[in-house]
Amino acid sequence: MVSDGSSPGEKQSQEAVTPRDAASLVLLRDGARGPEVLMGKRPDASRFMPGVYVFPGGGVEEDDYKLETEFPLPGHVVERMARQSEEPLARALAWAAVRETWEETGILLGAPGPAHNPGSCETLSAYDTAGLAPDLTGLDYLMRAVTPPYLPIRFNTRFFIVDAGQAQGRLEPRPELEHVTWHSIEDALDLHIINVTAIVLNAACDYWHDRPKPDASRPSPMFTQYEPGEIILRDE
């Protein structure tokens, strides 16, 4: 079931709020029925999109700008994101997607090496315990979506994509995201999702099959809605 992201009884905003910068990570792997994606269900008590299936992700935090790693986000990805995100924000967004993925699923994207300042956050401590450094080199930028201005909680979300073969660890139950598991793209499209998630799933499936080469000039889709049902999808 696909919805527009609004919840029953949710009040529409009188004055549009500024969307918060956020990031999500689309982890894909090959499956028996084509590519599979890691998703989980937001708790029914959540203020934002309760009961909806999503990719791991969340808002950018101040400390996300401070990440130090020998395995940074590739330059061509930073260049593509520079059309709407300055370099420090682009790198912070990538780390936010990876950090939130560990917080919500227990999965790490890392390479052997030191985790700088492991005591500064729980995620970096987990990397340090695993003998890993955060590895952003396999991430690519897929698209972004901005929550409609008529909703009271808004995000400017950048979606990153990565081959799950680069992930480490095992799935662990976490309160932020329930029923986290792998779904074929076909099955994921039948879950309780919002319309932008369906668009991201289809874009991810195309990416997985095409395997585009690194290219700083490649267009990136942007999604939003100005009114319920009025979908805006353009390249930027």
pLDDT, tens digit, for every residue of 152-187? 999 999 999 999 999 999 998 899 999 999 999 999
Predicted confidence at residue 9, as pLDDT, reads 41
Predicted confidence at residue 45, as pLDDT, reads 87
C-alpha dihedral (99, 105, 111, 112), degrees to nearest 10: 110
Q: In which band, very low, low, confident or very high, does the pLDDT at 63 lie, cut at 50, 70 and 90? A: very high
Average of per-residue pLDDT across 134-150: 96
Distance CA 100, CA 86 (A): 21
CB atoms < 10 A from the CB of 52, how many?
19
CA atoms 195, 91, 75, 104: torsion sign: negative
Average of per-residue pLDDT across 6-25: 74
Q: Give the domains, in start order, of the chain with CATH numbers.
A: 2-235 (3.90.79.10)
Structure-token pair, residue 12: 């529409």
On whether the pTM is more than 0.85, the answer is: yes
Predicted confidence at residue 180, as pLDDT, reads 97
Q: What Cα–Cα distance (Å) separates residue 176 from each residue in 42, 119, 151, 203? A: 7, 22, 22, 25
Strand, helix or coil for residue 168: strand
Predicted confidence at residue 141, as pLDDT, reads 98
Q: In which band, very low, low, confident or very high, does the pLDDT at 14 lie, cut at 50, 70 and 90? A: low
Which of 136, 146, 129 is CA-nearest to residue 232?
A: 146
Strand, helix or coil for residue 162: strand
Q: In which band, very low, low, confident or very high, does the pLDDT at 236 lie, cut at 50, 70 and 90? A: very high
Cβ 189 vs Cβ 198: under 8 Å: yes
Cβ 151 vs Cβ 10: under 8 Å: yes
Distance CA 148, CA 140 (A): 25
Lowest-pLDDT choice from 39-48, 196-205, 224-233: 224-233
Distance CA 120, CA 33 (A): 41
Cβ 205 vs Cβ 34: under 8 Å: yes
Task: Identify the residue whose tokens are 């986290």.
Answer: 180
In terms of average pLDDT, the best of 35-49, 77-91, 218-232 is 77-91
Cβ 186 vs Cβ 198: under 8 Å: no
Distance CA 101, CA 24 (A): 8
Predicted confidence at residue 8, as pLDDT, reads 41
Average of per-residue pLDDT across 45-71: 95
